[in-house]
Amino acid sequence: MSVITIERKVLEKNEQIAARNRQIFQEHGIFVLNLVSSPGAGKTSILEKTFQELRDELNIAVVEGDVQTDLDAQRVARYGVPVIQIVTSGGCHLEATLVQDAVGNLDLKELDILFIENVGNLVCPANYDLGEALKVVVLSTTEGDDKPLKYPAMFLNSSVLLINKTDLIPYVNCDLNRLRNNALQINPSLRIFEISCFTGAGIPEWCNWLRKKEV
């Protein structure tokens, strides 16, 4: 029972800070997305493609979360996008206080969109609100079509699903229709985009959605 009490206190504190983060983002009119996925699903590649489409139209910044290294932050920085790196040193997810500290280094008055690239993990980040407007879960076809059923909390708590690496469908054991149905079985409200960072398929539709959702 004491373990449950401790867990609740940790989550309650996180939710309080997340609420403060959300209020700050709303006051500045920033659309904040929390990108979550397994390692290697393609979050950073999706960001790169998104920057190519939108960087001349919108002011974008990124908070990068990684267990070790700043390799993804270096990739993002090549596009001239402000990026703040968070190294969790083994932590499996970002927390609201880390995001609070990170955005203190950004000029929020200048931003339209803030992407938070979370640590690669389909379990822990599902339970931690960072103050984002919504979660975007990325799932690659190489992971198979059963992941929504195996990790339901992540898909239930997300608003958008990006199915990445659709160009590999002929070579992997993944049925797109089954994947979509499994995801919608968990969360019927999911907005789904099928994309490929290799061919560029679906990227314009994703970016058009961002243009409309941007506040």
Backbone angles phi and psi of 60, in degrees to 5: -120, 145
- 2-213: what CATH class? alpha beta
- Residue 124's nearest CA partner among 37, 8, 182, 192 is 37
pLDDT tens across 67-87, in order? 888 888 899 899 999 999 999
What is the Rg, in whole angstroms, of the alpha carbon atoms belonging to the chain? Answer: 17
pLDDT tens across 110-169, in order? 999 999 999 999 999 998 999 999 999 999 999 999 999 999 999 999 999 999 999 999
Per the CB < 8 A criterion, the answer to whether 38 and 189 are in contact is no
C-alpha–C-alpha distance, residues 72 and 65, integer Å: 9
